[in-house]
Amino acid sequence: MKYILAHDLGTSGNKATLFAEDGKLVKSVTKSYDTVYKNGNWAEQNPEDWWTAVCQSSNELLDGVDTSSLACVAFSGQMMGCLCVDKDGTPLRPHILYCDQRAETETEALVNKLGADAVYEISGHRPSASYIIEKLMWVKNNEPDIYANTAKILNAKDYMNYRLTGRMVTDYNDASGSNAFDLKALDWSGTIIDAAEIEPDIFPEAVPSIEIIGTITKAASEATGIPEGVPVAAGAGDGGCATVGAGSVKPGATYCYLGSSSWISTTSTAPIPDAEKKTFTWAHPVPGYYQPCGTMQTAGSSYAWLRDQLAGGGAYEDINKIMAGSPAGANGVIFLPYMLGERSPRWNPDARGAFIGMSLETKQADIYRSVLEGVSMNLDIILKVMQAGIRIDDILLIGGGAKGALWRQILADIFGIPVKVPAYLEEATSMGAAIIGGVGAGVFSGFDAAERFVRITGITEPVAANSAVYEKIKPVFDMSYTSLESGGVFDEIVKLG
């Protein structure tokens, strides 16, 4: 039996997981690290903390394991970060995280020079301070000495791969989170990089996620406990790995991650652009495919807010029992789930949450149910963009939100397609890295190996009568948002503080 070591280098820590080639999870170890938040919208991490976590988790995970059966190592990692390293691979400053928004001025400059439509058409993403090239522009403008000594710009997992193998590369999936990568050519975009006035050599070579980029060096082996010579795959970003781990490895295979935030992602043979730029597209870790995606800000977070502020911090099971007393449509109560602005599909940082349609007849159950319905309707807008470009017959649900039977039913009714749940609800990212590494190392002949990892344990079918109710509510939900947005209500609320 061969084994694959998958690392998930996330925002709060690194999880090392050992998978057997039959898809079974053998063992996992997590080591945490800190994020420094400052100046209102800055977020940074020390890359040495990542390395310490990788070394500690690897050593602990492999203790007592026959490492001669270890076939490969593969990373999933937090995306859209900016780590400047010199020619020797030494970090020149802390890593700037994906959620860091300091580069708003640089984003505006890129839009003014090239146009938002051009950036979206080439890269598959809206221009945003979240992405790598805008962050690098900020470094050039505000830390010129750092920029002058920067040999390469790396993402989190790319730096760990460098520490393991000595090679500085990235993969297509992570590269497509840069706002500087040509999705169709699968190469860095000279048009965007020139407009940003960045030296093109700073960007590392981009390779397929399954490429074996090197092997564990002697120094890395001594630090991590991973045997010298074990192959290392390029890996992918956490969103790409989750897509593979959710079994979305062929056109139309679609999943929804339902956690604090939520996204819907599918697999297609070409980008699925949207005229209103509601969604975006990554290069898929599976060669030859693309990964259309839409991410909303506060899905499970809205549910947690309901629990903490309106339900007295009670158990979700008890809240679900209460909301089950309200019918589909929550007796006319509509919740706008924009508690932290919104990304997809609104792209409005000033949007705010709202309850609409309440009367003296409104019950507690109606308010509770409307929260889950509002989140689900927002996700449905994302899904419908994808369905306009590709056939989607059902959807896999992962993440903590998948545990609730009522929410699964609401999603099935609003989406109008079956909702499936797998055995492992919160391991898709690690499983995806393992599958990518396994394909790269020849453990698996292809990505159909995902079937070994994704075992469906339940299917929720839509109830036709409920779906009919929601079809009437959907335009009212959309109208509720657009009326507040076009009427300037959100802008005025923001001014009120």
At 313-333, the pLDDT tens digits run 999 999 999 999 999 999 999
Q: What is the largest CA-CA distance in the chain?
A: 71
Distance (Å, whole) CA 263 – CA 479 = 22
Tokens of 123: 């890269």
Residue 158 has what pLDDT?
Answer: 98
CA-to-CA separations, 220 to 46, 129, 160, 164, 421, in angstroms, rounded: 19, 34, 10, 5, 38
Best CA proximity match to 102, nearest among 125, 80, 128, 84? 128
Coil vs helix vs strand at 97: coil
Q: How far from 232 is each of 84, 177, 287, 345, 457, CA to CA, in Å?
A: 22, 22, 18, 37, 32
Q: By CB neighbour count within 10 A (0-12 exposed, 13-18 middle, 19+ buried), where does 472 fall?
A: exposed
pLDDT at 497 over 80: no
Average pLDDT across the chain, whole number: 96
Residues 6+ apart with CB under 8 A from 358: 333, 366, 367
Amino acid letter, 28: S
User: Of all residues in the chain, what percent carry a pLDDT higher than 70?
Assistant: 100
> Using an 8 Å Cβ cutoff, are 50 and 160 in contact?
yes
Pairing state of beta strands 236-237 and 255-258? unpaired
User: Under a CB-based contact definition with an 8 Å cutoff, are residues 175 and 188 in contact?
Assistant: yes
Provide the residue count of the chain.
497
Tens digits of residue pLDDT in 274-304: 999 999 999 999 999 999 999 999 999 999 9
Do domains 3-234 and 243-497 share one topology? The answer is yes
Going by C-alpha positions, the residue among 44, 45, 50 that lies closest to residue 31 is 50
Is the distance from CB of 47 to CB of 217 less than 8 angstroms?
Answer: no
User: Whole-angstrom Cα distance, residue 243 to residue 17?
Assistant: 17
What CATH number is given for 3-234 in this structure?
3.30.420.40
Comparison of pLDDT for 374 and 427, the residue scoring more: 374
**pLDDT, tens digit, for every residue of 451-489?**
989 999 999 999 999 999 999 999 999 999 999 999 999
Among 355, 390, 359, which residue's Cα sits nearest to residue 284? Answer: 390
In this prediction, residue 426 carries a pLDDT of 85
Residues 489, 494, 496, 497, Cα dihedral to 10°: 150
Distances (CA, A) of 100 to 38, 39, 79, 134, 469: 10, 10, 12, 11, 40
Terminal-to-terminal C-alpha distance of the chain: 59
The Cα 400–Cα 407 span in angstroms is 11
How does residue 40 score in pLDDT terms, banded at 50, 70 and 90?
Answer: confident
Domain 243-497 has CATH 3.40.800.20: no
Q: Where are the domains of the chain?
A: 3-234, 243-497
Q: Give mean pLDDT, residues 59-69.
A: 95
For 123, other C-beta atoms within 10 Å of its C-beta total 27
pLDDT at 103: 96
- Tell me what the mean pLDDT of segment 77-98 comes to: 97
Q: What is the structure's pLDDT at 189?
A: 98
Mean pLDDT of 84-96: 98
- Look-up: residue for tokens 């409920």? 466
